[in-house]
Amino acid sequence: MPLFDQWRWPDRPAAGLRTRLSLTSLDDRAAPSALAASGAEWLSNTSWDATAAYLSGFRHEEPPVADEPPVIVDFVVVKIEADLYRFSGRVIDEAPGGLGVGLGGLPSAEGQTATTNADGSFSMSLTLRTDGTDVGNATAVTSDAAGQSSNVATYWVDPR
């Protein structure tokens, strides 16, 4: 059996080079009983008001958000009758109610102003000319109480 003759155990290291494994006790502190309980038991026995009051000392308060400019969304122009069209949309802002939305882009809409409801929605009906002079992009723009202007919302209109 020449195969087994070639194999042999490796030499053992000298006695002074051996590693000795052992366990060391760090301390005898006991875990708090509330944390030792199961998660569900601890949650059911914890007063969330007391926990919130305790944690409030550790909360990081965010700085107040700066006033953002208003944004006009969902702006559409819909035909109601032969030459009567409804301009409507919604303003998103910290205080969207009572803002004036200026309409424009079309000769018949220039200088017209719709006022937003408390939820920021606005609507105004206008008669548009069907002779081709009111073809184009209708626009809507507003500004908030801080004087910040919104985006210019557009909608293609062809009342011919």
The tens-digit pLDDT sequence of the chain (160 residues) is 555 566 666 666 565 566 667 766 666 655 555 444 445 454 454 444 555 555 555 555 555 556 899 999 999 999 999 899 999 999 999 999 999 999 999 999 999 999 999 999 999 999 999 999 999 999 999 999 999 999 999 999 999 8
136 and 104 in contact (C-beta within 8 Å)?
Answer: no
The predicted pLDDT at position 8 comes to 64
Which two structure tokens, joined as six digits, stand for 126?
A: 């206008």
Which two structure tokens, joined as six digits, stand for 135?
A: 């073809």
Architecture of domain 71-157: Sandwich (2.60)
The predicted pLDDT at position 26 comes to 61
Whole-angstrom Cα distance, residue 132 to residue 110?
16
Q: DSSP class of residue 3?
A: H
pTM, whole model, 2 decimals?
A: 0.59
The answer for 111, left when phi > 0, alpha when psi is -120 to 50, beta otherwise, is left
How many CA atoms, within 13 angstroms, populate the side-chain half-sphere of residue 77?
A: 25
Whole-angstrom Cα distance, residue 52 to residue 99?
39
Provide the pairing of β-strand 84-92 with 100-104. unpaired
Whole-angstrom Cα distance, residue 152 to residue 100?
14
The predicted pLDDT at position 112 comes to 97
In sequence order, what are the residues at sequence separation of 6 or more whose Cβ sits closer than 8 angstroms to the Cβ of residue 122? 88, 89, 90, 91, 101, 114, 115, 116
Residue type for 131, please? Answer: D
Residue type for 18, please? Answer: R
Which two structure tokens, joined as six digits, stand for 91?
A: 């303003």
